[in-house]
Amino acid sequence: MIQSTCSHAGKSVLTAALLRLLRDRGFRAAPFKAQNMALNSAVTRSGHEIGRAQAFQAEAAGIEATFDMNPILLKPTGDAVSQVIIHGKVFGSMSAREYHSFKKEAKRFVVESYERLSAEYEVIVIEGAGSPAEVNLRENDIANMGVAEMFDAPVILAGDIDRGGVFAHLVGTLELLSQAERERVKGFIINKFRGDIGLLKPGLEFLEARTKKSVLGVVPYFKEMLLPDEDGVALDSNEPAGVYAVTIAVIRLPRISNFTDFDPFRAEGVNLRYIESPAEIEGADAVIIPGTKNTISDLKWLKDRGFGEALRSFRERGCVIFGVCGGFQMLGREVNDPFHIESSKASEAGLAFLDCATTILEHKKTFNVRASLDFDGKRFDASGYEIHMGETKGRLKPFSRISERNGEGVEVLDGGVEGAVFGTYIHGIFDNDAFRLSFLDMLHGKKGLSARAETSFAAKREDALTKWGALVDASVDIDAIMKIMGLGLNA
């Protein structure tokens, strides 16, 4: 099990790297995260919703993702309320206190999933959540040490040196664990190191002497990280903008979800900015309104911030506005919530850029989809996934025509188009290379610039994953980790 001293220390990508390296050594290995709190999710081939990190880890392991890899997914809808998804389907909404009481019952879902996975795979690599040192959450823990104890998993503790204080974080975490939990920790990985490793040596020696545990590796900061981030904190650490031909601004909604939809632009030499004020729209060639776990609350936030007026001005200049899922819903005339799923309000006026209205329903739709669409004079085939509780109706020119949901043929009109305003329910739409490049060509063309050469996002991400695995392999004592896991050293 990979645990860490805090969120965003690299558990997800270290788990992915270990799974890739085990695969390369001939083992059938699978990821497992018992409880994941995240707004970035994915839909399995069977139509079940799981954390996006586990879908990516399955990709790293070379296997198909299933809901057993993330039996419990928590998606915050407010400051103290989350939608609880169990085995890929909505179980209900709970306050933090209600969920804390529910965890004892939830353990059985965790055990069921783990047992199915362990019957199919030789190795399970478990990812923790947050920090194991949250002593107030220790009772009925199904995220960190409780899971390690449940399945008798040895633990490797990771720390993020880039944010500072890594030795205090590692030592302090151990101090807050019970004696049995400390004994379960078999070593450390220090992640995101920049600089001369020789200068780090005294600190490593101190850490090993103080804790009587080994430092299993120091992983350098990886600049080519085209791997998906799970935590919203990742949006705080974007690299400084350089000189780019095209700028795309994504509105950073308070409850932004599935911001990995826009990762493909990171591989395209595009200035991708997450913005929180209307003034930051200046200089953008396109503005994207992303998905959200609470459309009504985030729509009100957007309007209160003054984005409505700024976006109208942006649209009148012929600039591109693109809404995905909740962002698409905001582009319509109104969002209605008759069952009060998201809000005590029954309705919230939308931006009225598209002639449609959305009603939030009680049942969530989760589909893997295939679709066709016409864009900028060309026709494209596309794939992606839907995750939404809203149903949108109106007099719209559709963005796409969905022909397949979860492997079954359908005929469903999706989204809407009005001038340079586009909306769709399809997450992952920009992962489709031909469409993404046509979208960027259109933005370049509006500035009188030439079209771009074609690139493959999937190939670039696979290349990044290969390089990341090689970097971890070179930086971490993988043989020692395999020995900790009780594995033979396969070639």
- Give me the active site residues, please: 325, 427
Would you say 189 and 216 are in contact if contact means Cβ atoms under 8 Å apart?
yes
Cβ neighbours around 491 below 10 Å, total: 5
Query: Residue-wise over 388-416: b if at least 16 C-beta within 10 A, else e?
Result: bbbebeeebebbbebeebbeeeeebebbb
DSSP string, 426-445: -BTGGGSHHHHHHHHHHHHH
How many helices and strands in the chain, by DSSP H and E? Answer: 14, 26
Would you say 143 and 32 are in contact if contact means Cβ atoms under 8 Å apart?
no
3-state secondary structure of 199: helix
Sign of the C-alpha dihedral, residues 160, 164, 166, 169? negative
In angstroms, rounded to a whole number, what is the distance separating the alpha carbons of residues 285 and 448?
12
In angstroms, rounded to a whole number, what is the distance separating the alpha carbons of residues 109 and 68?
9
In angstroms, rounded to a whole number, what is the distance separating the alpha carbons of residues 38 and 14?
18
In angstroms, rounded to a whole number, what is the distance separating the alpha carbons of residues 234 and 228?
10
Q: Which of 366, 380, 378 is nearest to 432 (CA)?
A: 380
Would you say 472 and 219 are in contact if contact means Cβ atoms under 8 Å apart?
yes
Helix (H) or strand (E) holding 402: strand 400-405
| Helices 197-211 and 166-175: angle between axes, nearest 10 degrees | 10
Helix (H) or strand (E) holding 14: helix 11-24
Would you state the structure tokens that stand for residue 183, as one six-digit string? 């004994």
Would you state the structure tokens that stand for residue 231, as one six-digit string? 């935590």
DSSP string, 309-377: HHHHHHHHTT-EEEEETHHHHHTSSEEE-TT-SS-SSSEEE---SSSEEEEEEEEEEEEEEEEEEEETT
Instruction: Please count the CA atoms within 13 angstroms of the CA of 406 that sit on its side-chain side.
Output: 11
3-state secondary structure of 181: helix
Q: How many residues does the chain have?
A: 491
Long-range contacts of 308-312 (CB under 8 A, 24+ apart): 308/351, 309/278, 310/278, 310/279, 310/281, 311/278, 311/281, 311/287, 311/351, 311/353, 312/351
